[in-house]
């Protein structure tokens, strides 16, 4: 589908979904964003839903300003995926051992490594920029200065919530490795600190929603936020790269006889800010629950833990600021999912997937998410499908 345009105070809201299907809370958030004086465009992805601070599935283009709550608290959260030389015929009948080995290699939830992972010892891992990342830690805001050791040990860890590591098959039977994570606690603390700082600034006192407080160009507060923001985005990218390298090492060991090889890794943020140019304007484009989908750029759009995911290639649609959805999108809150579904429902909806099926992940049940096929169909002018994946192992955070 092409987009539907909904009137907004400063700019029209371009929606790649039926506006009537958007929950009232999310629509109010979008209308509020459209009142910001600095806004130059607002695109809404088909996985749109209400979010803390700002709407998930929104792409906000502003000139000379950025809204930290519109990035979200998991700065740099995103996806990585890689196709392997393995096929379905190489897999054992029982995948529980492989799932256990993945969980041993990659800490989940609040877990962390005992010592910082040494990337120099990891097979094929590029350490370019690694030392520079850590040398810049002292330049971050005072709020996180004492978190250095924890940030080191959390590098290469999954986190919780909707983060996951998956072992998948595509429609040809090829095995893919895929994961979803972000900047862990260090990104969250930086985000929360700057959201609080922005809300104190005089120019934000008259906003319709205090969560939409912004930093403006050429101010010390903006400079501080940009420094921390771009560092956290880089941390998140390395976090996924370390996890993917750990994941690949597990696969090499478990399938030693197959001498597994890997294609280049596909990686994309979906909670971040980028400096981009549209219609002759230099803009700060915030994607919260959206990926960049420039012409020919690869992206990853996951469904839920029982439905599968898509590898896509961007079509470079500037009406959407070269963006696409970041996933299926929730159709109910976590608390609503826990009230609605049982562990029996979870077992039924994840049949055939080696994964947790206990009460701790009921909020991530496939029924809590929108149908991924419909979400993909609604953005055919944003991305082209390259591969459809179905998980056979899912490790949840």
What pairing do the DSSP bridges indicate for beta strands 323-325 and 65-66? unpaired
How do the residues of the chain divide into helix, strand and coil, expressed in percent and rounded to 5? 35, 25, 35
Q: Are 9 and 31 in contact (CB under 8 A)?
A: yes
**Residue ranges of the alpha helices (H) in 183-340?**
184-200, 220-254, 334-340
Quote the CA–CA distance of 218 and 34 in Å, as a whole number: 23
| CA–CA gap between residue 276 and residue 281 (Å, rounded) | 8
Compute the residue count for the chain.
397
User: From CA 196, how far away is CA 213, in angstroms rounded?
Assistant: 9
Helices (H) and strands (E) in the chain, counts: 10, 18
Q: Is 295 helix (H, G, I), strand (E, B) or coil?
A: coil
DSSP 22-52: S-HHHHHHHHHHTT-TTEEEEEEEEEEE--S
The pairing of strands 354-355 and 383-396 is: parallel
Strand duo 290-292 + 323-325: pairing: antiparallel
Tally of CB atoms within 10 A around 185: 18
What are the angstrom distances between the C-alpha of 143 and each of 10, 75, 148, 237? 35, 16, 11, 22
Structural tokens at position 334: 């976590």
The H or E element spanning position 57 is strand 56-62
Contact indicator for 255, 86 with CB cutoff of 8 Å: yes
Tokens of 146: 């004492």
From the candidates 49, 194, 269, 326, which is the catalytic residue?
326
- Residue 326 annotated in active site: yes
Q: Specify the residue for token string 């608390």.
A: 335
Task: List the one residue out of 9, 19, 68 whose CA is nearest residue 39.
Answer: 9
Which positions are annotated as active-site residues? 326
């Amino acid at each position: 589908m092409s987009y539907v345009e909904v009137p907004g105070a400063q700019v029209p809201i371009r929606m790649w979904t039926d506006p009537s299907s958007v929950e009232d809370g999310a629509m109010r958030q979008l209308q509020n964003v459209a009142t910001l004086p600095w806004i130059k465009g607002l695109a809404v992805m088909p996985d749109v839903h209400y979010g803390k601070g700002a709407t998930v599935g929104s792409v906000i283009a502003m000139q000379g300003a950025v809204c930290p709550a519109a990035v979200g608290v998991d700065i740099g959260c995103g996806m990585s995926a890689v196709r392997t030389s393995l096929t379905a015929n190489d897999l054992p009948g029982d995948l529980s051992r492989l799932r256990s080995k993945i969980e041993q290699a990659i800490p989940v939830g609040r877990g962390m490594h005992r010592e910082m992972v040494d990337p120099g010892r990891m097979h094929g891992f590029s350490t370019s920029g690694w030392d520079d990342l850590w040398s810049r830690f002292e330049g971050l805001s005072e709020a996180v200065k004492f978190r250095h050791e924890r940030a080191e040990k959390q590098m290469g860890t999954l986190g919780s919530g909707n983060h996951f590591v998956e072992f998948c098959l595509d429609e040809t039977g090829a095995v893919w490795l895929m994961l979803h994570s972000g900047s862990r606690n260090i990104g969250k603390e930086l985000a929360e600190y700057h959201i609080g700082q922005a809300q104190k600034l005089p120019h934000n006192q008259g906003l319709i929603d205090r969560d939409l407080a912004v930093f403006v160009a050429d101010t010390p507060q903006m400079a501080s936020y940009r420094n921390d923001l771009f560092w956290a985005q880089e941390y998140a990218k390395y976090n996924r790269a370390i996890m993917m390298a750990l994941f690949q090492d597990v696969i090499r060991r478990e399938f030693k006889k197959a001498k597994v090889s890997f294609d280049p890794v596909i990686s994309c943020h979906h909670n971040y800010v980028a400096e981009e140019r549209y219609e002759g304007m230099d803009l700060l484009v915030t994607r919260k629950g959206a990926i960049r989908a420039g012409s020919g750029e690869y992206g990853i759009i996951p469904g839920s833990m029982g439905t599968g995911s898509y590898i896509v290639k961007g079509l470079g649609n500037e009406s959407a600021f070269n963006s696409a959805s970041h996933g299926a999108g929730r159709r109910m809150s976590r608390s609503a999912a826990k009230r609605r579904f049982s562990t029996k429902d979870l077992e039924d909806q994840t049949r055939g997937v080696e994964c947790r099926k206990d009460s701790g992940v009921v909020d991530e049940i496939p029924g809590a998410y929108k149908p991924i096929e419909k979400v993909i169909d609604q953005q055919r002018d944003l991305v082209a499908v390259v591969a459809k994946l179905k998980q056979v192992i899912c490790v949840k955070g």
